[in-house]
Amino acid sequence: MSTSARQLEKKIKDKTARVGVIGLGYVGLPLVKAFLQAGFRVTGFDIDRKKIDRLMEGRSYIRHISAVELKKFLSRRMFSATDDFRRLRSVEAVIICVPTPLDSHRNPDLSFVLDTTKVIARYLRRGQLIVLESTTYPGTTEEDMLPLLEAGGLKVGRDFFLAFSPEREDPGNKQFPTGRIPKVVGGVTRDCLRTAKTLYDQVVLRTVPVSSTRVAESSKLLENIFRAVNIALVNELKMIFDRMGIDVWEVIRASSTKPFGFMPFHPGPGLGGHCIPIDPFYLTWKAREVDFSTRLIELAGEINTLMPYYVVQKTVDALNRTGKSLAGSRILVLGIAYKKDIDDQRESPSLKIISILRKAGARVDYNDPYVLRSSGHREYPDLDLRSVPLTAGRLKKYDAVVIATDHSAYDYDWLVRNAALIVDTRHAVKKKHRHVVRA
Model's pTM, two decimal places? 0.92
Q: Are strands 183-187 and 161-164 parallel, antiparallel or unpaired?
A: antiparallel
Distance between CA atoms of residues 305 and 314, nearest Å: 16
Specify if 146 maps to a domain: yes
- Residue in 223, 93, 108, 252 with CA at minimum distance from that of residue 161: 93
Range from 27-41, 60-74, 188-202, 362-376 carrying the lowest mean pLDDT: 60-74
Residue 172 has pLDDT above 80, yes or no: no
pLDDT at position 112 is 97
Q: Is the model's pLDDT at 83 over the cut of 90?
A: yes
* Domain final position from 160, 190, 211: 211
Is 292 in the same domain as 353?
A: yes
Q: Is residue 221 a part of any domain in this protein?
A: no
**pLDDT recorded at residue 63:** 80
- pLDDT, position 169: 85
* DSSP annotation of 320: H
Angle between helices 28-37 and 67-75 (to 10 degrees): 50
From the list 76, 77, 71, 88, the residue with the least C-alpha distance to 19 is 88
The confidence score (pLDDT) of residue 103 equals 85
pLDDT at 113: 97
Does 259 have pLDDT greater than 80? Answer: yes
pLDDT confidence of residue 75: 78
Residue type, 94: V
pLDDT at 226 over 80: yes
Determine, yes or no, domain membership for 93.
yes
Shared domain check, 193 and 119 = yes
Tell whether 216 is covered by a domain: no
Q: Is 41 within a domain?
A: yes
- 16 lies in the same domain as 109: yes
Domain shared by 280 and 365, yes or no: yes
317-365 pLDDT tens trace: 999 999 999 999 999 999 999 999 999 998 999 999 999 999 999 999 9
What is the predicted pLDDT for the residue at 367?
98
pLDDT of residue 51: 92
Q: Are residues 263 and 410 in the same domain?
A: yes
Q: How far apart are CA 434 and CA 418, in angstroms?
A: 13
SS3 string of 123-189?
HCCCCCEEEECCCCCCCHHHHHHHHHHHCCCCCECCCEEEEECCCCCCCCCCCCCHHHCCEEEEECC
Same domain for 322 and 412? Answer: yes
CATH code of 392's domain: 3.40.50.720
| Same domain (yes/no): 107, 48 | yes
Domain stops at, among 189, 211, 233: 211
The reply to whether 397 falls in a domain is yes
DSSP summary character for residue 338 = S
pLDDT of 77: 87
Between CA 116 and CA 248 the distance in angstroms is 45
Query: SS3 for 349?
Result: helix
Following DSSP, what letter does each residue of 67-108 receive, concatenated? HHHHHHHHHTT-EEEES-GGGGGG-SEEEE-----B-TTS-B
> Is residue 273 domain-shared with residue 187, that is, in the same domain?
no
Q: How confident is the model at residue 371 (pLDDT cuts 50, 70, 90)?
A: very high
Q: What local confidence, expressed as pLDDT, does residue 282 receive?
A: 92
Query: Same domain for 164 and 253?
Result: no
Interval 390-423: pLDDT, tens: 999 999 999 999 999 999 999 999 999 999 999 9
Q: Is residue 290 part of a domain?
A: yes
Could you tell me the residue range of the domain that residue 58 belongs to?
3-211
Contact in structure between 426 and 268 (CB atoms under 8 Å):
yes
Looking at the structure, tell me whether residues 375 and 432 fall in a common domain: yes
Q: Band of the pLDDT at 67, cuts 50, 70, 90? A: confident
- Residues labelled as active-site residues: 275
Check residue 62 and give its pLDDT: 86
Q: In a 3-state reduction of DSSP, which class is residue 19?
A: strand
- 288 DSSP 8-state letter: G
Q: Is residue 241 part of a domain?
A: no
Question: Exposure of 14 by Cβ count < 10 A (0-12 exposed, 13-18 middle, 19+ buried)?
Answer: exposed
Same domain, 197 and 264: no
Domain boundary among 152, 185, 211: 211
The 10s digit of each residue's pLDDT in 270-313 is 998 888 888 899 999 999 999 999 999 999 999 999 999 999 99
Q: Note the pLDDT of residue 61.
A: 87
pLDDT of residue 73: 85
Q: Is 385 helix (H, G, I), strand (E, B) or coil?
A: strand
How, if at all, do strands 330-334 and 400-403 pair? parallel
Count of domains observed in the chain? 2
How many C-beta neighbours within 10 Å does residue 414 have?
Answer: 12
Percent share of the chain, pLDDT over 90: 85
pLDDT at residue 283, rounded to an integer: 93
Strand pairing report for 93-96 and 129-132: parallel
Residue 71 has pLDDT above 90, yes or no: no
Does 332 lie in the same domain as 418?
A: yes
| DSSP one-letter code for 54 | H
